[in-house]
Chain A
């Protein structure tokens, strides 16, 4: 069994080396449908019959269409081309890749570049083999080089050439006008980075106190805290002790990027948070609802990198660093039948007038047709007390500021309109 395996492996290896020897390198030139194949040889007589070759191409490749094959007399009468042809005959070797077979003469280089969509098939006898190379207009190196065994049977030889070098998918040839148009067209992927690109967007999102990938225990006491008697909580360091943290949000923003690299963005965020009143506390029987509206206005610095994926799609990645002011506007109402609110209601918790905070995050903008964008953004946003108040001797004794450290994680999906100058 082992022996049989070894034999099969040896056979496979042999097949692989013989296959590898056939083609020295292949840079995959375009195979045209209805191709014009020009046979170029330094020998007195072409090893293959052009008509047989065409028939073989049709037999071997169903996409070949109606190829036309002829001897390339123009180059066979040209002394510079023939010098190179003889040179190639002596220099083709499995060890050499295409740069060592480079055409050096400027006149022949120019000729190759003006081949248009014709395929030059170079055939040269070399001992018991026939060296084969293929040239096209895109390169002054051969695109393919290889060799096949000599064969007196011209049909078999043509078949071998067709199957070794002309298998693969073919492409429709372009008309003269199409080629001209293609050459005149600017490259889709070539474009300058606009000096300034601006956008306006509206995003819907969601925020919560729990930052993903961090332990929930960090937030547990804030998130699960409830307000008793209008003001009593476990602690008051975070606003999430008082109000719901996981709520939908609305975001509106206006931004711009200079030179695709650095930018600024003005943003507004809105959310409604319910106060987490303790349902067991009878003091709230008088209460109809108690909510806070969160308004935030911020200015972000942006660092960006844009990738031109397709002519109709650009993707920009943004790093967001910003600061913001947060305002929590209270909306509270008692039931209609309550004439006089309780004392606890009158001395209920009050938040600071404004909080200062920061934002750090990232965003991706998918801009279609240069104008219509979809933005995804996520990050961490904080709001705390005013850091610019001078500390006083009484600072230690003063009560903690409510919501001194209110942090949330947000994610949003936005619709944007972009324009560039």
Chain B
């Protein structure tokens, strides 16, 4: 009996506790309701970054000098379109409004920190049209590349290590960090770092679009799942 219990304990320990595990999201204890139709978005103008832009330029047959600008602006548009589909009353808070505040880091896990700009305590930010949103989705970073791993970008222990491996291109991937901001009480309701992978067959702008659509969907699902019961 005792031996069985001990084996079980060891097995559970091996599966759950003792392996390296991360918490990739964090909810505020008072996050009770996900956004429905009304939502404001901020940060998209600066968040998108394309890694391996030369490789992408070659595959997508665009000029390497303008690949970064072309792809990121395409992705931003695709992302906003997708979000507008989910949240019909989507508005935007200008990036400059949020970027005026100092950059802070937020702890998700013992080893995972995200960096971003957050509005000051006691000050509600305004939409571009002058209205005051209840909830703002702040996109901190949106990295597009191939075979990216979020540990290498967000694990405090790993980010300073040089990655010796040659870049591979099996999957089209995106890593993005965001915070759902309660603009009325000026607190982060839900923060997360997500990673999506999509196998590459023949890369085209449509693939980029579907990657972005998956990302937008993923954010929506996470916002629902993050609600504290």
On A, residues with C-beta under 8 Å from B are: 80, 82-87, 90-91, 93, 95-96, 100, 103-106
On B, residues with C-beta under 8 Å from A are: 28-30, 102, 104, 118, 120-123, 184-187
Cβ of A95 and Cβ of B29 under 8 Å apart? yes
Given known contacts A90-B184, A90-B185, A103 and B29 CB-to-CB distance under 8 angstroms = no
Q: A90: which B residues are within 8 A, CB to CB?
A: 184-185
A355 to B90, CA, bound (A): 91
A105 to B119, CA, bound (A): 10
Q: A84: which B residues are within 8 A, CB to CB?
A: 121-122
Q: How far is the CB of B187 from chain A (nearest CB, A)?
A: 6
Q: A104: which B residues are within 8 A, CB to CB?
A: 104, 118, 120-121
Given known contacts A95-B29, A96-B30, A100-B28, A83 and B120 CB-to-CB distance under 8 angstroms = yes
- 8 closest A-B pairs by beta carbon, nearest first, are A83-B122, A87-B121, A87-B122, A86-B122, A90-B185, A95-B29, A84-B121, A91-B185
Given known contacts A91-B187, A100-B28, A104-B118, A83 and B104 CB-to-CB distance under 8 angstroms = no
Given known contacts A104-B104, A104-B118, A83 and B28 CB-to-CB distance under 8 angstroms = no
Cβ of A106 and Cβ of B121 under 8 Å apart? no
Given known contacts A90-B184, A91-B185, A82 and B28 CB-to-CB distance under 8 angstroms = no
Q: How far is the CB of B123 from chain A (nearest CB, A)?
A: 6
Q: B102: which A residues are within 8 A, CB to CB?
A: 106
Mind listing 20 A-B residue pairs with CB under 8 Å?
A83-B120, A83-B121, A83-B123, A85-B122, A87-B121, A87-B185, A87-B186, A91-B186, A93-B30, A95-B29, A95-B30, A96-B29, A96-B30, A100-B28, A100-B29, A103-B121, A104-B118, A104-B120, A105-B120, A105-B121
Q: A91: which B residues are within 8 A, CB to CB?
A: 185-187
A95 to B29, CA, bound (A): 7
A105 to B187, CA, bound (A): 13
Q: How far is the CB of A125 from chain B (nearest CB, A)?
A: 16
Q: B185: which A residues are within 8 A, CB to CB?
A: 87, 90-91
A222 to B110, CA, bound (A): 62
Closest-by-CB residue of A relative to B118 is A104
Q: B28: which A residues are within 8 A, CB to CB?
A: 100
A83 to B104, CA, bound (A): 18
Closest-by-CB residue of A relative to B119 is A104
A408 to B153, CA, bound (A): 62
Q: B187: which A residues are within 8 A, CB to CB?
A: 91, 100
A124 to B29, CA, bound (A): 22
Closest-by-CB residue of A relative to B122 is A83
Q: A86: which B residues are within 8 A, CB to CB?
A: 122
Q: A103: which B residues are within 8 A, CB to CB?
A: 121
Q: A95: which B residues are within 8 A, CB to CB?
A: 29-30
A84 to B186, CA, bound (A): 10
Q: A82: which B residues are within 8 A, CB to CB?
A: 122
Q: A83: which B residues are within 8 A, CB to CB?
A: 120-123
Q: How far is the CB of A213 from chain B (nearest CB, A)?
A: 25
Known: A80-B120, A87-B121. 13 other contacts (CB 8 A): A82-B122, A83-B120, A83-B122, A90-B184, A90-B185, A91-B185, A93-B30, A100-B28, A104-B104, A104-B118, A104-B120, A105-B120, A105-B121
Q: B123: which A residues are within 8 A, CB to CB?
A: 83
A106 to B103, CA, bound (A): 11
Interface centre among B30, B120, B121, B186 (most CB of A within 10 A): B121
Q: B120: which A residues are within 8 A, CB to CB?
A: 80, 83, 104-105
Q: How far is the CB of A42 from chain B (nearest CB, A)?
A: 9
Q: A100: which B residues are within 8 A, CB to CB?
A: 28-29, 187
Q: A87: which B residues are within 8 A, CB to CB?
A: 121-122, 185-186
Q: How far is the CB of B174 from chain A (nearest CB, A)?
A: 29
Q: B121: which A residues are within 8 A, CB to CB?
A: 83-84, 87, 103-105
A388 to B28, CA, bound (A): 72
A86 to B122, CA, bound (A): 6
Q: How far is the CB of A146 from chain B (nearest CB, A)?
A: 17
A121 to B102, CA, bound (A): 28
Closest-by-CB residue of B relative to A106 is B102
A22 to B24, CA, bound (A): 34
A84 to B185, CA, bound (A): 11
Q: How far is the CB of A80 from chain B (nearest CB, A)?
A: 8
Q: How far is the CB of A157 from chain B (nearest CB, A)?
A: 26
Q: How far is the CB of B180 from chain A (nearest CB, A)?
A: 15
Closest-by-CB residue of A relative to B186 is A87
A59 to B123, CA, bound (A): 40
Q: How far is the CB of B107 from chain A (nearest CB, A)?
A: 9
Q: How far is the CB of B210 from chain A (nearest CB, A)?
A: 38
A80 to B118, CA, bound (A): 15
Q: B29: which A residues are within 8 A, CB to CB?
A: 95-96, 100
Interface centre among B28, B118, B120 (most CB of A within 10 A): B120
A103 to B187, CA, bound (A): 12
A217 to B183, CA, bound (A): 81
A85 to B122, CA, bound (A): 8
A80 to B102, CA, bound (A): 14
A100 to B121, CA, bound (A): 12
Closest-by-CB residue of A relative to B102 is A106
Q: A105: which B residues are within 8 A, CB to CB?
A: 120-121
Closest-by-CB residue of B relative to A93 is B30
Q: B30: which A residues are within 8 A, CB to CB?
A: 93, 95-96
Q: How far is the CB of A3 from chain B (nearest CB, A)?
A: 35
Q: How far is the CB of B35 from chain A (nearest CB, A)?
A: 19
Q: How far is the CB of B172 from chain A (nearest CB, A)?
A: 37
Q: How far is the CB of A207 from chain B (nearest CB, A)?
A: 41
A90 to B185, CA, bound (A): 6
A100 to B187, CA, bound (A): 9
Closest-by-CB residue of B relative to A99 is B107
A104 to B181, CA, bound (A): 15
A313 to B182, CA, bound (A): 53
